[in-house]
Amino acid sequence: MSKFLIAGLGNIGEEYTETRHNIGFKILDELAGKEGFSFHTDRLAAVAEYKFKGRIFILIKPSTYMNLSGKAINYWMQAEKISLDNLLVLTDDLALPFGTLRLKTKGSDGGHNGLKSIQETLNNTEYSRLRFGIGSEFSKGKQVDYVLGKWSEEEQKSLPPRIETAIEMIKSFGTIGVQRTMTAFNNK
């Protein structure tokens, strides 16, 4: 049975719950709520196992804070014997307009501390990441406030269908593969 590691990036703590930077956690929480499973606290992460169409998805929400996400991902890849090809990281992206979803198989960290940690820990930039656009509606010097800020009322109304699409992309990644998933979803 094929096994996949799906890592949603975010920060632990109530103050970060509904922030743009925590979209990775939010997507996994929505998937858990929809499919009726829950996360439990384990080494370096909140962890859940989800079975879908003969695949096993190990879902993690690192408890290491964003800047050390690589430590949790590396640990769970080793513990579950999951290859780099079967890793999918869910992350926010300032460079994409709000709600835009892009699946990529490699790339730079783009200044994202979570991706930087993963790339430094794995010593590799060739892993799949699902980038969730959060836009860049902030003034000069206010990037941190924006990223760690709460969703606007308008954004909150638009989030559910985008999160639903992200969940479909996770399932597709595990069942039909990254290339076909990119073809099916990246231009929607």
The one-letter code for the residue type at 116 is K
CB count within 10 Å of CB 54 equals 9
Give residue for tokens 């076909």.
180
CA distance 67 to 38: 25
Q: Comparing C-alpha atoms, which of 8, 39, 30, 31 is closest to residue 21?
A: 8
Which helix (H) or strand (E) segment holds residue 91: the answer is: strand 87-93
Known catalytic residues are 21
Ramachandran angles phi, psi of 154, nearest 5°: -65, -45
CA distance 20 to 23: 6
Residue 135 makes CB contacts below 8 A (sequence gap 6+) with 94, 96, 97, 98
CA distance 180 to 35: 24
